[in-house]
């Protein structure tokens, strides 16, 4: 076999071999373990190979059309020349449709080999189907012996290998055979995590929460991440280190809720920043007097009890749609750990009242059209007890310092995801919403000069809600709420 250059061998568990034969797998005894190990070799692509495999239709059909055109040009056949030019255009159009699909099939082995998705015994996962989408392609594949964590961790390398900005891989059930793990990968030219994005006006001017979803952000493949407050029986917990973007995400959500005539937003905010545009009747802000926070929350508990009592009388299990008379009540806790500490400093009893009210609101509020949005730097059991935590159906973790903080809201998450969350920039995190797999996402951004925008959005929104007949609660609170 003189003169034959052996391909380079890449394997997962350091068992390099230079005596593998080109063009297939080589069986060798696994060092020390006495079992045969297949080594999957992935020879590096040359630039020529890569080009041909990336643009096969363009090169083949376009090349033929070009030859015909050149031939006709040289011999002066006008009609053939015209036909050649038409064929050239057709070839380029065809290639725009087919090449993105073909490139996946043709370069799959090289790219997955480069991304290190090679199992010892079974080699590279199999592709089953590739189909185009508006902004890229979707690929269905399956692997026998590669761990899902390795597959998810390879997302970025695969996207880069095929020349896309983002890849999202989800595990699927019931697609191939029960013995193999199945995945669907979405490759997109844009990465939803990279650029900050704002809401369009139509999202900020909605009339009612019935049937509306609140945009929370965008996932990697540019799909909306939305919260359906009435449809999702559960509350929202947002965790993240300082400056990770919790408050700014809340600006975006509250800006959407403000103009709705059948939504009331109240809250407890030790910083006073989030509370400012809502008015003192609605929010307990600052830390000077935490009994106001306890009063406000107990008023919400009383409202919840009266709603639940009414539901029981009517024999109905939950409020399915809301109105200005019976609005959706959103209760925001800004920096919950801070609230608890401030209350504790004032009086242990106040702290207990606040914690008890939260526990009851999250446990019994969902059917009474009451939703809690709780922001905290860490969602540890010390801050939110485990029972209360289980009632948060929508869970968001923005950048955190350590893996343990990620696991508090997402206990089953893979290590590769945990590592990723630690490195995220402001406003980027992971989200769990019932009915969806855990997604990496970028939170909605209200825009530069964010606080000013938030003040205006809520101010204008509340006026709009008032003009739309959402007045009842305002009268109620004027007749003696928790106001100063
Ligand atoms: N979605 C986003 N896109 C772009 N930038 C963002 C986004 N969210 C937040 N930021 C930037 O990050 C900064 C910090 O965000 P924010 O104040 O919401 O953090 P936080 O988690 O509330 O911090 P703290 O715990 O200190 O209150 C903002 O001033 C903003 O510039
Ligand atoms: Mg904040």
pLDDT at 321 over 80: yes
192 lines ligand 1 (CB under 6 A): no
Share of the chain above pLDDT 90, in %: 54
Give pLDDT, residue 350.
95
pLDDT at 226 over 50: yes
Average pLDDT over the chain, rounded to an integer: 84
Give the mutation target among 427, 445, 446 for probing the ligand 1 site: most ligand atoms within 8 A of CB.
427
| pLDDT tens, residue by residue, 136-171 | 999 999 988 788 888 888 988 999 999 999 999 988
| pLDDT tens, residue by residue, 71-125 | 888 988 888 888 889 999 999 999 999 999 999 999 999 999 989 888 877 789 9
CA-closest residue to ligand 1 atom 16: 245
pTM of the model: 0.80
Give pLDDT, residue 202.
62
Contact 181, 148 (CB under 8 A): yes
Question: How far is it, in rounded angstroms, from Cα 280 to Cα 105?
Answer: 62
Give pLDDT, residue 483.
39
**More reliable by pLDDT, 38 or 217:** 217
Question: How far is it, in rounded angstroms, from Cα 75 to Cα 230?
Answer: 73
397 lines ligand 1 (CB under 6 A): no
| pLDDT tens, residue by residue, 30-56 | 443 444 444 445 567 889 999 999 999
Write out the DSSP string of 392-441: EEEEEEE--SSHHHHHHH-TT--HHHHHHHHH--TTEEEEE-TTS--EEE
Least confident of 264-273, 397-406, 468-477: 468-477
Domains of the chain (ranges; CATH) run 47-188 (no CATH), 201-477 (3.40.50.300)
234 lines ligand 1 (CB under 6 A): no
What is the number of residues in the chain?
484
448 lines ligand 1 (CB under 6 A): no
Give pLDDT, residue 239.
95
**More reliable by pLDDT, 274 or 199:** 274
Taking the CA of 253 as reference, the closest ligand is: 1
| pLDDT tens, residue by residue, 441-477 | 999 998 888 999 999 999 988 888 888 887 655 555 5
Residue 355: pLDDT band with limits 50, 70, 90: very high
248 lines ligand 1 (CB under 6 A): yes
Burial class for 442, CB neighbours closer than 10 Å (0-12, 13-18, 19+): buried
| pLDDT tens, residue by residue, 52-70 | 999 999 999 999 999 999 9
State the residue for tokens 């297939």.
24
196 lines ligand 1 (CB under 6 A): yes
pLDDT at 288 over 60: yes
State mean pLDDT over 19-40.
41
Ligand 1 centroid–CA 195 distance in Å is: 14
Extract the tokens encoding 220. Answer: 């990697």
Give pLDDT, residue 175.
52
Residue 276: pLDDT band with limits 50, 70, 90: very high
Extract the tokens encoding 133. Answer: 């989408």
State the residue for tokens 């079974």.
122
**More reliable by pLDDT, 408 or 22:** 408
Contact 398, 428 (CB under 8 A): yes
CA-closest residue to ligand 1 atom 23: 243
Ligand 2 centroid–CA 329 distance in Å is: 22
445 lines ligand 1 (CB under 6 A): yes
Share of the chain above pLDDT 70, in %: 86
């Amino acid at each position: 076999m003189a003169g034959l250059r052996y391909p380079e061998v890449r394997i997962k568990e350091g068992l390099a071999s230079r005596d593998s034969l080109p063009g297939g797998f080589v069986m060798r005894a696994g060092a020390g373990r006495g079992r045969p190990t297949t080594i999957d070799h992935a020879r590096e692509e040359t630039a020529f190979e890569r080009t041909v495999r990336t643009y096969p239709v363009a090169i083949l059909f376009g090349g033929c059309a070009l030859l015909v055109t050149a031939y006709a040009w040289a011999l002066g056949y006008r009609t053939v020349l015209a036909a050649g030019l038409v064929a050239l255009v057709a070839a380029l159009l065809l290639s725009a449709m087919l090449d993105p699909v073909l490139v996946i099939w043709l370069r799959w082995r090289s790219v997955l080999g480069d991304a290190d998705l090679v199992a010892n015994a079974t080699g590279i996962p199999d592709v089953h189907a590739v189909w185009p989408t508006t902004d890229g392609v979707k690929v269905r594949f399956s692997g026998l012996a590669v761990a899902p964590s390795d597959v998810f961790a390879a997302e970025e390398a695969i996207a880069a290998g095929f020349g896309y900005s983002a890849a999202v891989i989800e595990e699927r059930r019931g697609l191939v055979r029960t013995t193999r793990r199945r995945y669907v990968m979405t490759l997109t030219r844009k990465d939803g995590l990279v650029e900050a994005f704002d809401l369009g006006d139509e999202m900020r001017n909605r009339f009612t929460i019935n049937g509306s979803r609140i945009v929370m952000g965008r996932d990697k493949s540019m799909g909306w991440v939305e919260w359906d407050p009435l449809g999702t029986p559960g509350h929202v917990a947002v965790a993240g280190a300082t400056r990770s973007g919790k408050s700014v995400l809340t600006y975006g959500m509250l800006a959407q809720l403000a103009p709705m005539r059948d939504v009331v937003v109240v809250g407890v905010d030790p910083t006073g920043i989030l509370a400012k545009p809502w008015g003192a009747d609605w929010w307990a802000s600052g830390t000077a007097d935490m009994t106001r926070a306890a009063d406000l929350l107990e008023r919400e508990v009383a409202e919840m009890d009266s709603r639940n009592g009414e539901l029981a009388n009517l024999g109905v299990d939950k409020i399915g749609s809301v109105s200005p008379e019976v609005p959706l009540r959103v209760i925001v806790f800004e920096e919950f750990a801070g609230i608890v500490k401030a209350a504790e400093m004032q009086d242990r009893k106040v702290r207990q009242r606040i914690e008890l009210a939260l526990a009851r609101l999250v446990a019994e509020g969902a059917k009474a059209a009451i939703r809690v949005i709780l922001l905290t730097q860490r969602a540890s059991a010390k801050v939110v007890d485990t029972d209360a935590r289980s009632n948060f159906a929508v869970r968001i973790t923005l950048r955190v310092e350590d893996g343990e903080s990620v696991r508090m809201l997402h206990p089953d998450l893979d290590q590769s995801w945990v590592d990723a969350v630690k490195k995220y920039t402001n406003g980027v995190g992971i989200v769990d919403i019932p009915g969806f797999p855990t997604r990496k996402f970028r939170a909605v951004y209200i825009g530069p000069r964010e606080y000013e925008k938030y003040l205006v959005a809520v101010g204008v929104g509340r006026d709009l809600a008032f003009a739309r007949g959402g007045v009842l609660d305002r009268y109620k609170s004027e007749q003696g709420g928790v106001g100063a």
